[in-house]
Structure 1
């Protein structure tokens, strides 16, 4: 399964991505530590990344969570991660989370990725509601939600606690599957 994004592509995480993932995480540590602390701590060494990737490949196969890598076609460099997580098969609901590496920000890659994976989530996974949860100061993430047609629903009080910080209120955006 491969999703084409002109000079980039999305694909499910693979076991051979462990080393590249570790490199991506370490080189973007400052940007990941606040909103992706668990992903960060599980990928600080190549050995940790190998365990993390094996777990994510298994979760993908079991349809528990879907982690996609975003890579540049010409170099095969890992430039971002897009999750479809918090899958609730009863509610037919899932949540997007995404991060793009420093050199690749402001290219619309997260928005393009979320748009492609929204179609996958609705048509292939049978989800009916997709969510993005972002802090109001994370303007890039809010912009992705808005660019992809997600609608602000409410503020979630004390929803997320970054390492060493007080709990943060987060903004909930949702998008619903509409039969055509």
Structure 2
């Protein structure tokens, strides 16, 4: 059912049904359990099914993906990063990260094999100054928010004449 849901929502292996989104696809999968069941009951006025829609081929690719293992070593071994190659690619060719940040990140990666806990990538390459300011502003806004305390109910008495 999950694979059929993925196909209904759109995948790289085949076209999707026009007008079908998560709000419609999930209840239909829950009710009819498969794409075949959905197609039997689908309102063709609301939804356009592509001609020669190969959802069965897409399902087969999800279940049995073609994987080429030729030339892939049996076990992948972590090695020291190619610092100069990273600098050349990220700083010189792509201009996405400054050279000093790359070198600091590589220095941290050198100690990674001795680490017992996996690190997050953002702990190696720190967030930008703009992002840190935005996070700090959000924290400050939460801290400044007024504290709402529930009022105690008051008793009202009416005067009788």
TM bucket normalised to smaller: under 0.3
TM-score (norm 2): 0.24
More strand by share: 1
More helix by share: 2
Q: Which has the larger radius of gyration?
A: 2
TM-score (norm 1): 0.22
